[in-house]
Amino acid sequence: MMKMLITGGAGFIGSHLADLLVSKNYDMVVVDNLSLGTIKNINHLANHKKFRFIKEDLLRLDPLKNIFRKNKFDTVFHLAANSDIQNSAGNPEIDLENTFLATWNLLECCRLFCVNKFVFASSSAVYGGTTRKLSEASGPLSPVSYYGAGKLASEGFICAYSSMNDIQAWIVRFPNVVGERATHGVIHDFIKKLKSNPKQLTILGDGRQKKPYLYVKDLVEAVFFVYQTAQERLNYYNVGAEDQTTVTRIAKIVCEEMQLSHVKLNYTGGKTGWRGDVPHFKYSLNKINSLGWKARYSSTEAVRLAVRSILSK
Ligand SMILES: NC(=O)c1ccc[n+]([C@@H]2O[C@H](COP(=O)([O-])OP(=O)(O)OC[C@H]3O[C@@H](n4cnc5c(N)ncnc54)[C@H](O)[C@@H]3O)[C@@H](O)[C@H]2O)c1
Q: In what order do the strands lie in the sheet with 27-32?
A: 51-55, 27-32, 3-7, 75-78, 117-123, 168-174, 234-238
How much is the pLDDT for 184?
86
Residue 311 CA to ligand 1 centre (angstroms): 22
Query: Is it true that domain 183-211+243-280+297-312 has CATH number 3.90.25.10?
Result: yes
Per-residue pLDDT of 244-289, as tens digits, reads: 999 999 999 999 999 999 999 999 998 887 787 888 889 999 999 9
Q: Can you tell me the distance from the alpha carbon of 151 to that of 57, in angstroms, rounded to the nearest whole number?
A: 18
How much is the pLDDT for 1?
77
The answer to whether residues 161 and 110 touch, using CB atoms and an 8 Å cutoff, is yes
CATH superfamily of 3-177+213-238: NAD(P)-binding Rossmann-like Domain (3.40.50.720)
Confidence of residue 87 (pLDDT cuts 50, 70, 90): confident
Confidence of residue 93 (pLDDT cuts 50, 70, 90): very high
By most ligand atoms within 8 Å of CB, the mutation choice from 36, 84, 281, 299 for ligand 1 is 36
Residue 289 CA to ligand 1 centre (angstroms): 26
Q: What is the DSSP string of 41-93?
A: GTGGGTT-TTEEEEE--TT-HHHHHHHHHHS--SEEEE--S---TGGGGG-TH
How much is the pLDDT for 168?
98
Residue 265 CA to ligand 1 centre (angstroms): 30
Which amino acid, residue 241? A
The answer to whether domain 3-177+213-238 and domain 183-211+243-280+297-312 are alike in fold is no
**pTM assigned to the model:** 0.96
**How much is the mean pLDDT over the chain?**
95
Residue 140 reports pLDDT greater than 80:
yes
Residues 6+ apart with CB under 8 A from 208: 246, 247, 248, 271, 279
The answer to whether residues 306 and 176 touch, using CB atoms and an 8 Å cutoff, is no
Per-residue pLDDT of 8-43, as tens digits, reads: 999 999 999 999 999 999 999 999 999 999 999 999
Q: What are the structural domain ranges in the chain? A: 3-177+213-238, 183-211+243-280+297-312
Q: Can you tell me the distance from the alpha carbon of 174 to that of 291, in angstroms, rounded to the nearest whole number?
A: 16
Q: Can you tell me the distance from the alpha carbon of 275 to that of 260, in angstroms, rounded to the nearest whole number?
A: 30
Confidence of residue 67 (pLDDT cuts 50, 70, 90): very high
Per-residue pLDDT of 48-66, as tens digits, reads: 999 999 999 999 999 999 9
With b for 16 or more beta-carbon neighbours within 10 A and e for fewer, the 52-77 pattern comes to ebbebbbeeeeebeebbeebebebbb
Per-residue pLDDT of 147-196, as tens digits, reads: 999 999 999 999 999 999 999 999 999 999 999 999 888 999 999 999 99
Q: Can you tell me the distance from the alpha carbon of 100 to that of 143, in angstroms, rounded to the nearest whole number?
A: 14
Cα-based angle 44, 50, 56 (whole degrees, multiple of 5): 75
How much is the pLDDT for 16?
98
Residue 131 reports pLDDT greater than 90:
no
Nearest CA to ligand 1 atom 11: 79
Which amino acid, residue 271? K
By most ligand atoms within 8 Å of CB, the mutation choice from 83, 106, 155, 217 for ligand 1 is 83
How much is the pLDDT for 278?
83
Nearest CA to ligand 1 atom 1: 177
